[in-house]
Amino acid sequence: MKTNTTEFIPEAVVVANGDFPFRPTPVHKLKSAPYVACCDGAANQYLDSGLVPDIIVGDSDSIDPQYRRLYASIIHHDPDQETNDQTKAIRFLQGKGFRKIAIVGATGMREDHTLGNISLLMEYQKMGLDVRMYTDYGVFIPAENDCSFTCPVGTQVSIFNFGTQGMTGEGLKYPIRDFQSWWEGTLNETTEGTFTIRCQGPYLVYIGEKK
């Protein structure tokens, strides 16, 4: 059984073009990252803050023309229109040998982009990567089969089914099952310091930031 903890030390961080993070957890992940990849739209705010990423990835349609000239040496142009800049950044990092990756700034602003960015976590799992998405309010963790997660008692948890069978849980306030709709697995809560999900197949866990 795989154990997932809320302590996750990424090898690289992707800054997506949503709301720039402001709460401690995602900000810490970003500031402590050994390697930072900015989606080209996100690069504007990142550079405005006085920071310089290791790489800027995208089709270069969103980055400020001045920054495009100044930082041409760290821009990786990817014109692929069949995917988004977040995935382009993930693919670039995978090609560099990174496997443990955190994403920040992927939610907020346009809700359709937020849903798309979150759902792509399941695709990254299929690619053999360990990718988590940190927001200002919690973390999304893709998982598969039996897994245990450690976090404080009373933490808010949601579970989204992506084709699992036989789903049961331990250490949660409410029973879980093979949910058919995303909303059915929301608003659960931990009753122990570790909760366990048993099933066959992929699913997405959201663990809220404990207040």
pLDDT tens digits, one per residue of 134-162: 999 999 999 999 999 999 999 999 999 99
* For residue 57, pLDDT beyond 90: yes
Read off φ and ψ for residue 46, nearest 5 degrees. Answer: -65, -45
Average pLDDT over residues 49-70: 90
Band of residue 81 on the pLDDT scale cut at 50, 70, 90? confident
107-145 burial: b if 16+ Cβ within 10 Å, else e: bbeeeebbeebbebbbebbeeebbbbbbbbebbbbbbbe
Mean pLDDT of the chain: 92
Taking only the tens place, the pLDDT of each residue in 162-196 is 999 999 999 999 999 999 898 999 999 999 999 99
Lowest mean pLDDT among 27-31, 47-51, 107-111, 137-141: 107-111
pTM score of the predicted model? 0.93
CA distance 149 to 81: 36
Is pLDDT of 1 > 70? no
Of residues 101 and 21, the one with the higher pLDDT is 101
Residue 134: what pLDDT?
A: 97
DSSP letter string, 57-90: EE-SSSS-HHHHHHTGGGEEE---SSS-HHHHHH
Tell me the mean pLDDT in the region 83-103: 95
